[in-house]
Every structure is written in structure tokens, then in C-alpha cells.
Structure 1
Amino acid sequence: MPHLQDRRPEFARPNEPGPTPNAIEQDADDSEALCEQVRRARVEQTSLRIAGGNTKAFYGRSICAGAELSTRRHRGVVHYDPVELVATARAGTALGDLERLLADNGQRLAFEPPHFGESATVGGMVATGLSGPRRPWVGAVRDFVLGVRLITQEGKHLRFGGEVMKNVAGYDLSRLMVGAQGTLGVLTEISFKVLPKPAASACLRLELFAEVARQRLCEWGRLPLPITGAAFEPASHGNRGILHLRLEGGEGSVNATRQRIGGEEESHRYWEDLREHRLPLFLEPDPRPLWRLSLPSRASRPAIEGDWLIDWGGTQVWLRSGERDIAIFEAAQAAGGHATRFTPCGSESSPFTPLPPVMSRYHRQLKSRLDPEGLFNPGRLYADW
């Protein structure tokens, strides 16, 4: 079973300054070696297991076979234009390094990607496509991807998209790589749209009953309020719990909303702990699997036995449950959503809600076009891929 490890990236230099805007780290370009490894694997008919920082190795089917192809040596921010709000980084770049560079210029990755460890990489962030608590209000990872460079199964190093939205024409292959978990090719470089940090922010907590919290969120959702985080944690008993809210925007808007909503102020640390799964629901020893349920905004929480936490203003439910996998999949589908198991499962199981037949056919056709020989991350998404 893969382990989440909080360790410093092996290439980090804590006493050296980080990359400067527009700096190009030619000595960190490992693309030709990666291309050669892909070509050799194709000739030898061996599969490849793509790896970066391995902090998200638990996500998806964790029995991917093949020789390891590591992107960790292929690192560096190759271009950053704070004025144009665009950054391009190689796949092995430490996610923390990129975020610190953006923060030095008053900017950020708005979709708030989780790290799950210090060795998280930019490539892993895109391959898994996981977004943080801000996602419903600003967009997901794929909404900010402008272009990618990709190594195909022939060992060709191709570019898709660019660094401006107008470069995207026809089928947007670059965004298709988001969440594909390396099953369609080897990501080597990604260009992102970045956004400025807000002028003001505030974090609030309100003690409410679950149904009241839901009604309030529906009411606030119809208003132009600067909410960028809404999570509800039930109490240990009963339906009463804590509604956590985060406000971000102009100083006047944040202050006016804070006065309107009321509640007590709390630390911004809560949202980082939620993003990184450091809250009790995620950390306390528990033999029950951890699930993420993605639901329509107005759907009721499925009646599944277990402990839960509601995120994304009600559209994402984190659940600890001992119910059978099929029961959770069916309950999520009945509510109009889908479920993903975050705790690794056995080789006979899938962590994802089964695809409808038509959608499954499209997925298979796409895989057969981009990786017909099954070189990349076999079995990572589905057992028969």
C-alpha cells in the first residue's frame, strides 16, 4: 500500500533563493531521457508506471504495474509573467516551490490544490485533478490549464494549447489530461492561468442545525457575496454542528458580508487543514474507508451510515462508512452524483463509481487512440485499461 510521506523534495535547496520570474532552468530539462524511456518501453513491450512525488499514490487503483518512469528530475518554472497572469512549469516541479513564487508576486493558484505531502509535484496535481475548498466559486484545475507538453506512446514530445485562451481551438486535449492520472501520456510541462490574491479575507464559524445551515447556504448562494469556502461539521451527536465560512474579496465587501452573516471569527488554518485532510475525520484511526461523494447542489445527503463532513457548500461530502462499496455507489448515483473511495482498495475493486455504458465506450475509444498499446499506467483508472 502506498504511504503518504511528508518529506522534503530530494532536489530542494532550503538555503538557496527560489526561481525568479522568467528564469529558465535548462539544466533541469530531462525530457529527452523521458522520451527515450518511453521509446524503449514500446520496443520492449513493457508498461510504464509514471511517478512524481507520490503524495497522491493512494488515489485511484493503486496496483498499477510496470517500470517506474519518474518525472522528478524534470523540474523548474520555465516561464512566469505576473502581468499576464500566466505561469509554465515542468511536471516534476515541487508544487510548494511554484506556490511560493506566485505568493512573492501577490498571486496564487486559485483552485487551491491539495499537497498531501511536501514532495507534491505540479504534474501530480494535474494528473489527479484534485481541487480544494475554493473550487465551486473559482473553478477546477482544468479550468486554469492553458496548455501542456506531452510525451506520446511513440516517444514524441508534443505541445497542445498554449499560454493564452485563444490558442485553444478544436478539441482541447490539454485539459483532457487533467484527472487522467497519466493513462493517456506523460505530462512534461503545464501552463496555468494564475490569479491575484484577494485584498481582504475573513473566516467565520456559526453554530447551526444542519438543515438551517443548508437553507442559509442556498439563500447566500443567490446573493453576490464573497464566499469562497463553506463547510459544515456535525456535532458528535444530533444534527447541530459548525458551519465554517471563508470570505475573500475587496475589503468593503468582506466587511459588509461579515457583519451581515455574523458568527465568530476563526483562523485561516481550518481551510488548510480541510484541504490537506488534517481534520479529525481524516486523521483519527478508523478502519472504515474514506469516501468523497460529489452531489448536485440541491441534492439531499444520502442516508448512508457513517461519520461525515460537508464541503463545497453542500456539493461534496466526505464520509467514513463501513457500508459496502456497491451500496455507496448506488446511493450517490440515486442522488444524482457519484462516489470515489479515497482509501485504497483491493485488486478486485474499483474506487470509482462505474461508468454508464455510453461514457465507458467513449473512455475506451479515447484510450485506444492515445495509448493503443497500453504503455501508460495500466490499471490505474480501470482494471481493463
Structure 2
Amino acid sequence: MTFDDLQARIREASRAGRPLRITGHGSKDFYGEPPAGEPLSTLALNGVTAYEPSELYVSALAGTPLADVEALLARHQQRFAFEPPRFGGRGTVGGMVAAGLSGPSRAALGSVRDHLLGAVLINGAGELLSFGGTVMKNVAGFDVSRVLAGSLGQLGLITEVTLKVLPLPAATATLRFEFDAATALMAVNRWGGEPLPIEASAWWDGALLLRLAGAAAAVEAAARKLGGDPIPAELAAPFWTGLRDQTDEFFAGAARAVDGGARLWRLGLPSVAPALKLHGEQLIEWGGAQRWVVTPLEPAALREAAAAAGGHATLYRALDKRCGVFTPLSAPLAAIHKRLKAAFDPHGVFNPGRLYPRL
């Protein structure tokens, strides 16, 4: 299917008022409100269109498997530093941007949005629009491409993206500490104010793991200073991969609990927020800024606890989403969302209700 074909189909859907559900491999259909509309696949948009290792950027069509792009980067000792989850190897580049999800290194190295340099999309009028460039200095004025990150396809059909890439670190090391949640949070926030090459952290079930990454001398010096128990690389790598791809023991247990009627929540909090006393299992990442909670607690109580700590809660996985997936917007924010939607998709064709039921 060509760009012309996609534009024609979108124009026809807009005229008919027929909703379209943008889809790739469907690996993130669980995320957000339930998908609705006639499927509009991106899988025909496949291939890397530009890659300049020396300039640290790559461009790819939206339906390109994320695994293919990462394999290409690895051959040049490079990576997507934000570590997007791959969900069994079924994710696409467009879906990665639309979902806006990042992995363990997000707190240190930035999110999908931070690494998005440019994007091409087809809007609700069937127009092909291009935003951004291949380097940050090309971005002037309102950076539209970054608005697409985490938009869940509500603003248009992403056809191509350009992303910043980074070299693989020269050295890594993983340290383990026997800490309760409160001690772990104090430690990671204290270390976060020091010049240490901490790339990722994760606390669960009485243990804090730190991943150091950077120059070999810096990693070795930090490991000596911090102490803890060093974890062999052959054991540490599967742990961080499992955490990134949400296949490790915590997420496997969460999936079983969700099947039994519990809910998996993703909390965004200030990193210095104290440990939350909530019924259920918790996993803490990003130096305390991201906290996963699997619990049967009522949604209103969970959201109140998150708000009291200065943050918000997203219903990440659940059998019943009638309580709403994302934290309700204030009136001013809701008005901004509606104006953006109307500007890009005036007929409400793309992924209706995927972020909020009436958007």
C-alpha cells in the first residue's frame, strides 16, 4: 500500500465518518482504552529509509519491526538508549512512538519523546505532513513531532520517524543491595545527586539493583564506591532485558494477578516521594519516579494515593477498564487535548477514545 493509497482511504473515511483503528502487530492493544474502528495497518510501510551512524540518527517507516532496526544499530555498536519494551519481538517503530513507552534507562537517558527528531504523518484530511529533522537544532517553534509520542495514534497516521541513537556503553556493571523500599528510595536519590554513572535502578521484594554504564574506569570507580554485591553479567543481562520487555518475574506474576481480577497500575511520582503503603506487590524504577503496583485496591483509592504523593496513576493492565485508563484531565488540559485533536483530525477518524473515552 502506497502513501497515495493511505491518503485516499483516510479521505474516504473522513467523508463517511467511519473511524479507523491504526494497527501494526497489535503488541500494545492492551494499553490505553480498548481499540475501536476499522483496522488500518501500517505493516506495508516497512524499511529503514536513512541511517547515519556517524551522525547518530536513523529514519524508518512506521511498520518496520523494532527488532529489525535494533539489529541494524547493534551491528554498528549503537542502540535506542530509551530501551523501548519489545513485547515478544512484535513491536513496530510507529507503535513504539505512538505508545511512548520507555525502559529501565529512561530516568538517566531520556524518553522516546526526548529522542524523537522528526516525523511524517497523514492527518485526518489526508494530507502528508512532515515535522522536525535529523538533528535537534533543526527543530524550531512548536515541536509537533514530539506531541505524537504517547498520542496512541489519535492525531494521525505516523508513516515515518527519525530518532536519535547513541553508542553502546563501553562498560556496564550491576550491583545488588539488600534494602527495604524506604531505604532504597533514600539511597537512589542520594546517589542521583552525585557524579555516578547510574543508568538504571530497580527495587522489588527487598532488593535494589543498580546498573552502571559508561567508561570502564568510571564504572569500576563507582562500583568500588557504592559497594553492594556485584551480579555477574550473564545473570544481570537477562534481568534487565526481562524488566525492559516486561517478561520478568514481577510482570509474570502481575499478569496472573490481572487474570484473577487485580489491576496493574503504573504510577508516575516525584522520585523523592516516600514509599507508598499499598496493598499488593510493588516494583520501583527510574530512581523512584516510576512505580508499578499490582493490587485489587479500588481505582479511586489508588489514584488518591498517587495524587497525595504528587503524581498520577495509569491503569496499565486490567480486565475491566471502566474506571478509565488515564488520570482524568483538568478542564484546561482537556480543552488543549480537544483543540489538538480537532486541528489534526477534525472528523474524529483516528483511534477514537483510545486516550480518553470522549476524545
TM-score by length of 2: 0.95
User: Partner residue of 2:196?
Assistant: 225
The one of 79, 92, 99 aligned to 2:70: 99
User: Partner residue of 1:22?
Assistant: none
User: Partner residue of 2:26?
Assistant: 54
1:191 aligns with 2:162: yes
1:130 aligns with 2:101: yes
Partner Cα separation in structure 1 for residue 222 and residue 114 of structure 2: 27
Partner Cα separation in structure 1 for residue 282 and residue 18 of structure 2: 42
Deviation digits for residues 45-100 of structure 1, max 9, x if unmatched? Answer: 211000011111100001x3211000011110000000100100000000011011
User: Partner residue of 1:44?
Assistant: 16
- The answer to whether the 8 A contact 1:61-1:345 is kept is no
User: Partner residue of 2:238?
Assistant: 269
- The alpha-carbon deviation at position 201 of structure 1 amounts to 0.5
1:328 aligns with 2:299: no
Q: Secondary structure at the match of 1:231?
A: strand
The one of 237, 251, 263 aligned to 1:282: 251
- The answer to whether the 8 A contact 1:61-1:344 is kept is no
1:382 aligns with 2:347: no
Partner Cα separation in structure 2 for residue 307 and residue 53 of structure 1: 30
- The alpha-carbon deviation at position 31 of structure 1 amounts to 2.1
- The answer to whether the 8 A contact 1:344-1:351 is kept is no
Map 1:321-360 onto structure 2 (within 5 A).
Answer: 321-346=295-320, 348-360=322-334
Deviation digits for residues 14-61 of structure 1, max 9, x if unmatched? Answer: xxxxxxxxxxxxxxx732222121112112221100001111110000
The letter for the 1-side match of 2:243 is: L
Partner Cα separation in structure 1 for residue 184 and residue 36 of structure 2: 45
The letter for the 2-side match of 1:49 is: R
User: Partner residue of 1:115?
Assistant: 86
Map 1:1-385 onto structure 2 (within 5 A).
Answer: 30-62=2-34, 64-234=35-205, 241-266=206-231, 267-284=236-253, 285-286=256-257, 287=260, 288-346=262-320, 348-385=322-359
Partner Cα separation in structure 2 for residue 170 and residue 263 of structure 1: 46
Deviation digits for residues 205-234 of structure 1, max 9, x if unmatched? Answer: 111233322222122111110001111112
- The answer to whether the 8 A contact 1:202-1:246 is kept is yes
- The alpha-carbon deviation at position 111 of structure 1 amounts to 0.4
Q: Secondary structure at the match of 1:358?
A: helix
Partner Cα separation in structure 1 for residue 162 and residue 83 of structure 2: 16
Q: How many residues align?
A: 350
Partner Cα separation in structure 2 for residue 202 and residue 342 of structure 1: 30
- The answer to whether the 8 A contact 2:81-2:166 is kept is yes
The letter for the 1-side match of 2:214 is: G
CA distance 1:348–1:233, change in 2 (3 Å): closer
- The alpha-carbon deviation at position 303 of structure 1 amounts to 2.7
CA distance 1:65–1:211, change in 2 (3 Å): closer
- The alpha-carbon deviation at position 345 of structure 1 amounts to 4.9
Partner Cα separation in structure 2 for residue 347 and residue 196 of structure 1: 40
Deviation digits for residues 310-364 of structure 1, max 9, x if unmatched? Answer: 1111111111111111111121111111111111454633111111221111111
Partner Cα separation in structure 2 for residue 268 and residue 164 of structure 1: 31
- The answer to whether the 8 A contact 2:25-2:90 is kept is yes
CA distance 1:330–1:211, change in 2 (3 Å): closer
Percentage identity across aligned positions?
46
The letter for the 2-side match of 1:246 is: R
- The answer to whether the 8 A contact 1:233-1:310 is kept is yes
Q: Secondary structure at the match of 2:179?
A: strand
User: Partner residue of 1:9?
Assistant: none
- The answer to whether the 8 A contact 1:47-1:377 is kept is yes
- The alpha-carbon deviation at position 375 of structure 1 amounts to 0.3
Q: Secondary structure at the match of 2:96?
A: helix
Q: Secondary structure at the match of 1:320?
A: strand
- The alpha-carbon deviation at position 243 of structure 1 amounts to 0.6
- The answer to whether the 8 A contact 1:281-1:320 is kept is no
Q: Secondary structure at the match of 1:342?
A: strand
CA distance 1:356–1:302, change in 2 (3 Å): farther
Range 188-197 or range 35-44, more displaced = 35-44
